[in-house]
Amino acid sequence: MSLDVHEIRKDFKPLDQMINKKPLIYFDNACMTLKPNQVIDAMNEYYYNFPGCHGRTFHRFGKLTTEKYQESRGIIADFLGAEKSNEIIFVRNTTEGINLVARSLKFEGNDVVVTLNTEHNSNLLPWQHLKHTRKIEHRIVELNPDLTFNMDNFKKAMDKNVRLVSMGHCSNLSGICIPAEDIIELAHKYGALVMLDGAQSAAHHEIDVKELDVDFFVVSFHKLLGPSGIGVLYGKENLLNKMPPYLLGGETVTDTTYESLTLAPLPDKFEAGLQNYAGAMGAAAAAEYLQNITFKDIHEHITSLNERITEKILSLSDVSIIGPKEPSKRSGILNIVVKDMKALEVAHILNESNNIMVRAGVHCVHSWFNANKVPHSLRSSFYLYNTSDEIDIFFENLKNIIKFFK
């Protein structure tokens, strides 16, 4: 079965627009995906029909909010393969989820955190901070020159002092996914915990945290058809129970005195204050939308788009691809450097001339760009509503821009 992209596109209103009599082409999905009507409807249902507080009241709005909020948690637990819904903690995004673990997991001076040399700033800066404040050791595993995973380098980084391995499941720089099962198995042999940054993987890979045996998994729903400002941290129940919250306030306690507090059980102890209830319901609607489409079909579709554009890009002598040339290894991401041209200017021309939206810059991976002396790159990223016709239009415009300025 393949995706019926024509039918899918009907669910995404932004794609109906015409600017200067030309359609919009959206190739910035690695940053944020578009939202289907079903997600907007789920959020509007909350705001229109029962805009109350969760867990604090007994009136109609409060009861319905509590019911829908908890129902959303259960849907997302099922979406990620979690055994229990209380293992799902609502956060604003992947960044907050990683910071929650960094602040709440007990680290001591001789502990080691292992990451990759292509980590997003969200999975780099929290460990830099702990290195300076708690004197932990931060080890960075170098990937192969084509940015594929180097198991030998990972093995060299592991020893009994490693407390946590925290890695991007799929890279927002190259699109490459790491061999998570092998990494988790080896890390657990050393007694280390593993956290996967699933911001780029959950949109086109079926995730089963229980089968993976991963200890923590974080994801932002704005990257998989959901609203912005909502994400989840999955954590194994026994680990979350031992971790103190790093934010305190309403909902995180069951009782207080002027001198003491009694923490609430999971998941409430990590969800301080009023939450993004509409966002949680929108995230659940996004999860249900994706569950009605097989991830196999999504992955095959975006890979086929990448194959189409890669074949064309490789015909251009002045363009190099970040990562391997084989599109099957890069999922739905094509990140390129155009010789003697500024990526920001190319992106601007594509947008202004033909409504083609791509991302230019360093993609929150400043560290890799600085280390490799690459100024900026031009990243296009594809998703289930993109078409082969859009690929062709993008390439012809890119080729003409390069030709004009050369």
**Same domain? 264 vs 387:** no
> Which of 234, 187, 288 has the alpha carbon at shortest distance from 91?
234
Residue at a domain's end among 291, 323, 358: 291
- Kindly report the number of other CB atoms within 10 A of residue 66's CB atom: 19
Q: What one-character DSSP code corresponds to residue 83? A: S
**Helix/strand/coil for 170:** strand
**Same domain? 115 vs 74:** yes
364 in active site: yes
Q: Does residue 306 contact residue 327 with C-beta atoms inside 8 Å? A: yes
**Same domain? 286 vs 385:** no
Cα angle vertex 31, ends 180, 132, to 5°? Answer: 65
Q: Which residues contact 209 (CB under 8 A, 6 or more apart)?
A: 80, 81, 82, 217, 234
φ/ψ region of 83 (left if φ > 0, alpha if ψ in -120 to 50, else beta) reads alpha
**Same domain? 284 vs 302:** no
Q: How many domains does the chain have?
A: 2
**Same domain? 144 vs 196:** yes
**Same domain? 13 vs 48:** no
Cα angle vertex 35, ends 30, 37, to 5°? Answer: 160
Element (H, E) at 155: helix 151-157
CA distance 122 to 131: 15
Residue at a domain's end among 239, 268, 291: 291
Look up tokens 């502990």; give the residue.
Answer: 111
Cis peptide before 375 (omega within 30 of 0): no
CA distance 301 to 304: 5
Q: What is the CATH number of the domain that holds 328?
A: 3.90.1150.10
> Which of 38, 43, 44 has the alpha carbon at shortest distance from 12?
38
**Same domain? 257 vs 397:** no
**Same domain? 246 vs 176:** yes
Element (H, E) at 116: strand 112-116
Predicted pLDDT at 58: 85
Q: What one-character DSSP code corresponds to residue 262? A: E
Q: Does residue 380 contact residue 394 with C-beta atoms inside 8 Å? A: yes
Return the biggest CA–CA distance within the chain.
Answer: 72
Q: What is the CATH number of the domain that holds 60?
A: 3.40.640.10
**Helix/strand/coil for 296:** helix
**Helix/strand/coil for 112:** strand
Structural domain for 183, as ranges:
39-291
pTM score, whole prediction: 0.97
**Same domain? 159 vs 242:** yes
Residue at a domain's end among 259, 291, 323: 291
Predicted pLDDT at 1: 55
**Same domain? 80 vs 226:** yes
**Same domain? 51 vs 126:** yes
CA distance 345 to 341: 8
Q: Which residues contact 72 (CB under 8 A, 6 or more apart)?
A: 280, 281, 283, 284
**Same domain? 363 vs 226:** no
pLDDT in single tens digits along all 406 residues of the chain: 589 999 999 999 999 999 999 999 999 999 999 999 999 999 999 999 999 999 878 899 999 999 999 999 999 999 999 999 999 999 999 999 999 999 999 998 899 999 999 999 999 999 999 999 999 999 999 999 999 999 999 999 999 999 999 999 999 999 999 999 999 999 999 999 999 999 999 999 999 999 999 999 999 999 999 999 999 999 999 999 999 999 999 999 999 999 999 999 999 999 999 999 999 999 999 999 999 999 999 999 999 999 999 999 999 989 999 999 999 999 999 999 999 999 999 999 999 999 999 999 999 999 999 999 999 999 999 999 999 999 999 999 999 999 888 7
Q: Does residue 196 contact residue 219 with C-beta atoms inside 8 Å? A: no
Q: Does residue 376 contact residue 343 with C-beta atoms inside 8 Å? A: yes
